[in-house]
Amino acid sequence: MTRKFACRTVPSTWMAQNGRRLDCGPYMSGGIEAREILKKHRTIPLNELTEKRKGGIFNGPRFSRDYVGDPAYGVPFLGSTDILHADLSNMPLLSKKQISNIPDLIIREGWTLITCSGTIGRMAYARADMDGMAGSQHFMRVVPDQNKVKPGYLYAYLSSRFGVPIVITGTYGSIIQSIEPHHIADLPVPRLGEVEEQAHALVQRAADLRTEANRMLGEQTKSLEKEIGGGPVEWECRLPQSFAVGTRTIKSAFIRLDAFHHIGFVGEAESKVKVSLQEIGSVAKALRPPIFKRVMVDDSGHEFLGGADVMTLDQKSADHISIKTKNIDLFIVKPGQVLFQCVGQRYGIFGRPTLANRNLIGKAVSEHQIRIIPHDRNDAGFISIFLATEFGRRFLMKHSSGTSIPVLQEEGARKIMIYWPSQEHRHKIGTIAEQAWENRALATDLEDQARTLVEDAIEAGGRSWRR
């Protein structure tokens, strides 16, 4: 597809209304047009619908971060991309002592979180399992006054095709773009009567489903980890590192000479296993699609997700690749697959499993995600849970290679050691995993419905939407 520059003529009145800004951003975002449509409605400035604390719209403060390794002494710390992730179980931990001295870092349920540095205007609704976590200065907190507006409705509106353009209109900067709380303080919020209640109910239901999904997956992961370790497991080596290994150990491995493959982070997991294991290649196929030239097209092609997109709440992407791409079928996600990132830093999303679900099936995913395809499709859920355990994560990383940008190839993926209990036990765990991922997919649908509900009401000139 040929990409063209966009251009348009704007009246001088628009410039006067936008502080006489001469950069094109405010006039190309669609925010001005959105404000014109909103004039059909009774609106209230955003800062009049938020709590009075710090104006109700604020960033986390800048500070020197003090990380800890033990959950007993830390609080999960979210960056601007983390708020968009479905799984928050492996976030870095910020010292509780530091948190107690900087209370503005804490996130509370029902807030709307907006990225304000780098990629502007991406949003998340703070759900119950995020309550009490800490967050960086790179996303804004919008704290609704629940006596004046329903938090779910406010999120649905701000993340709609009317809210987002107005938010990003205030963006400034050319290299690293930013936006500040005062830029959206006067953002007009339409009052839509019963639509607000309906939108809130949908968003809150979506948040509850995501929280429940995380609880289900977390419980199964911890339970399986205890089963493999013969009881609760205490991990001493929390980071992917190792220091030295004896020549006898290396000789037994024949191929690998790096210490990481044998001891430290990996060796601790091997020493704690109390059950028999087997190679995952004996129960499943490992597939990594080939490196290919990306021919990006308009929305007539296959929706194309990178590794980071797979980990997000909605598992969506604006990118599409040509249906004529060579070996395209290898990139399409199919039922019964488990995916994980096989390129990148070991302390990031590397190795984090994703179970193919209806949000993902039929979409094309990058070659940087290996597909594990079990011989019995019903085992996919169990494999995803095993890989999410600390044992699974470390056994997976054992076969990665490289220091700056580690990589795990198909051959290494087939050698991942896996616990393989009875079929009945595997399928029971797998069924719970599948239900959790279905909850996540349903949550995405509900949020989309809430935004559509709000957008339809705005376009209808304020008339209440009814089923």
Rounded to an integer, what distance in angstroms lies between the CA atom of residue 260 and that of residue 242? 5
Q: 206-220: per-residue pLDDT in tens?
A: 999 999 999 999 999
Using the Cα atoms of residue 345, residue 419, residue 221 and residue 385 in order, give the sign of their dihedral.
Answer: positive
Where along the chain do its domains lie? 12-205+446-459, 212-430
The pLDDT, as a whole number, for residue 172 is 60
Residue 116 DSSP class: -
Is beta strand 112-115 parallel, antiparallel or unpaired with respect to 123-125?
A: antiparallel
Using the Cα atoms of residue 77, residue 81, residue 84 and residue 90 in order, give the sign of their dihedral.
Answer: negative
Which two tokens mark 51? 């709590």
Least confident of 83-87, 92-96, 167-171: 167-171
Task: Return the percentage of the chain with pLDDT > 90, whole number.
Answer: 66
Which superfamily does 212-430 belong to? DNA methylase specificity domains (3.90.220.20)
Q: Give CATH for domain 12-205+446-459.
A: 3.90.220.20
The pLDDT, as a whole number, for residue 178 is 77
Least confident of 1-5, 12-16, 24-28, 354-358: 1-5
- φ/ψ of 178, rounded to 5, equals -145, 165
The pLDDT, as a whole number, for residue 34 is 81
Residue 430: in which H helix or E strand, if any?
Answer: helix 423-459
Q: How many helices (H) and strands (E) does the chain have?
A: 16, 19
The pLDDT, as a whole number, for residue 246 is 60
Do residues 191 and 41 touch, judged by C-beta distance below 8 A? yes
Residue type at 136 in one-letter notation:
S
| pLDDT category of residue 150 using cuts at 50, 70 and 90 | very high
Residue with token string 């089923």? 467
SS3 at position 207: helix
pLDDT of residue 19 exceeding 80, the answer is: no
Which two tokens mark 94? 């910020």
Span 106-121, mean pLDDT? 92
Concatenate the DSSP letters of all residues of 342-355 into one string.
Answer: -BS-TTTTBT-EEE
Q: 342-363: per-residue pLDDT in tens?
A: 999 888 889 999 999 999 999 9
Do residues 343 and 409 touch, judged by C-beta distance below 8 A? no
Do residues 319 and 406 touch, judged by C-beta distance below 8 A? no
Query: Across-strand partners of 332?
Result: 364
Rounded to an integer, what distance in angstroms lies between the CA atom of residue 259 and that of residue 353? 25
> What is the end-to-end Cα distance of the chain in Å, rounded?
39
Identify which has the larger pLDDT, 330 or 17. 330
SS3 at position 409: coil
48-73: burial string, b at 16+ Cβ within 10 Å, e else: ebbbeeeebbbbbeeeeeeebeeeee
| pLDDT category of residue 463 using cuts at 50, 70 and 90 | very low
The pLDDT, as a whole number, for residue 462 is 44
The pLDDT, as a whole number, for residue 1 is 37
Residue 429 DSSP class: H
Q: Kindly report the pTM of this predicted structure.
A: 0.88
Rounded to an integer, what distance in angstroms lies between the CA atom of residue 115 and that of residue 178? 9
Span 125-135, mean pLDDT? 97
The pLDDT, as a whole number, for residue 7 is 63
Start-end of H helices in 175-302: 181-184, 194-229, 247-253, 265-272
Q: 45-58: per-residue pLDDT in tens?
A: 999 999 987 789 99
SS3 at position 67: strand
Rounded to an integer, what distance in angstroms lies between the CA atom of residue 437 and that of residue 359? 9
Same fold, 12-205+446-459 and 212-430: yes
| pLDDT category of residue 175 using cuts at 50, 70 and 90 | very low
Using the Cα atoms of residue 205, residue 447, residue 319 and residue 82 in order, give the sign of their dihedral.
Answer: negative
Rounded to an integer, what distance in angstroms lies between the CA atom of residue 463 and that of residue 454? 11
Do residues 46 and 142 touch, judged by C-beta distance below 8 A? yes
- φ/ψ of 41, rounded to 5, equals -115, 160
Radius of gyration of the chain measured on its C-alpha atoms: 24
Is beta strand 93-95 parallel, antiparallel or unpaired with respect to 67-68?
A: antiparallel
Rounded to an integer, what distance in angstroms lies between the CA atom of residue 167 and that of residue 158? 8
Using the Cα atoms of residue 7, residue 12, residue 16 and residue 20 in order, give the sign of their dihedral.
Answer: positive
Rounded to an integer, what distance in angstroms lies between the CA atom of residue 348 and that of residue 237? 16
Q: 272-301: per-residue pLDDT in tens?
A: 999 999 999 999 999 999 988 888 898 789
Start-end of H helices in 230-354: 247-253, 265-272, 307-310, 328-331
Do residues 303 and 332 touch, judged by C-beta distance below 8 A? no
Average pLDDT in the chain: 88
Rounded to an integer, what distance in angstroms lies between the CA atom of residue 205 and that of residue 128? 11
Do residues 278 and 418 touch, judged by C-beta distance below 8 A? yes
